[in-house]
Amino acid sequence: MKTSTVLKKLSIVSAGATSIALATMGTASASIIFDGGGPDQKDGSEMTKWVQTQDFILSQDIGTRLTDVHFWTLEAPGAWDGTLDYFVFANAGGQPASTPFAQGAGANVVKTATGNQPFGFNEYAYSFDLQTPLDLSANTTYWLGLHLSSNFDQDDIYWGTTTPGVGSKGQESEGGTFNNWSNNGQHHAFYLTGQKVPEPASVLGLLAIGALGAGAAWKRKLK
């Protein structure tokens, strides 16, 4: 066999091994990367007249690529108009920054009645996808903001609370101006799902595996 032919096959094997390794790395299923606690049916923070926010911190060991959000509400009958907007803020002195660095309309929204009716309101579990997966830094405080209306009239939709809660108490912005943050005194029920982002060393390791596989093929061809 000509050397050029062997080299051609070597490059194909190397590329194939590397592609398989990287593809496997990229298809990890979503898992919980932050758990702020489930609903306690005790209270809530109104999220149509206000943008409500809650802080969270991610861990490199668990995952820092945010893809989905899950939360609970207490709602008056027929209150929701189908709008769900999300915001992600950096932390600024214990409250959200004045401008979100990521925002959008929730995609693939699922709303499910839980059957609970505290205070005459219906409790719902929501989930939605971010428009684009968001790669965040580990061990860094962020704030998730939610608004469930096409305007800022008060329609009686409340982000359900949790006990004891994680991190700081929530912050709210009346009218969604983001320059009037106020502590609402509540911890809110939600969790985040996403994926673990491989560190650069892991990617280099997979590339090395591909090269080793190609080396074995080279030896087999020359025997």
CB of 168 within 8 A of CB of 36? no
Same domain, 124 and 206: no
Same domain, 135 and 207: no
pLDDT reading at 16 higher than 50: no
What is the number of structural domains in the chain? 2
What is the residue-wise DSSP string for 11-77?
HHHHHHHHHHHHHHHHTPPPEEEEE-----SS-EEE-SSEEEEEEEE-BTTTB-EEEEEEEEEEE-T
Q: What is the spatial distance between Cα 183 and Cα 45, in angstroms, rounded to a whole number?
A: 11
Same domain, 85 and 109: yes
Same domain, 50 and 118: yes
pLDDT digits (tens, 9 = 90+) for 142-186: 999 999 999 999 999 999 999 999 999 999 999 999 999 999 999
Least confident residue range of 4-13, 38-47, 105-114, 208-217: 4-13
Same domain, 7 and 50: no
Q: What is the spatial distance between Cα 73 and Cα 39, in angstroms, rounded to a whole number?
A: 8
Same domain, 68 and 105: yes
Q: Residue 200: what pLDDT?
A: 54
Which residue's entry shows tokens 């032919």?
Answer: 5
Same domain, 89 and 176: yes
Same domain, 215 and 191: no
Q: Angle at CA 182, nearest 5°, toward 180 and 187?
A: 140
Same domain, 98 and 77: yes
pLDDT reading at 77 higher than 70: yes
Same domain, 111 and 12: no
Q: What is the spatial distance between Cα 87 and Cα 47, in angstroms, rounded to a whole number?
A: 13
Torsion of the alpha carbons at 64, 200, 17 and 25, rounded to the nearest 10 = -10
Q: What is the spatial distance between Cα 192 and Cα 162, in angstroms, rounded to a whole number?
A: 15
Q: Residue 199: what pLDDT?
A: 58
- CB-based contacts of 26: which residues, under 8 Å, 6+ apart? none
Same domain, 204 and 191: no
Q: What range defines the domain where residue 204 resides?
A: 3-27+200-222
> In whole numbers, what is the pLDDT of the chain averaged over residues?
84
pLDDT reading at 208 higher than 80: no
Same domain, 96 and 63: yes
pLDDT digits (tens, 9 = 90+) for 17-45: 434 333 433 445 689 999 999 999 999 99
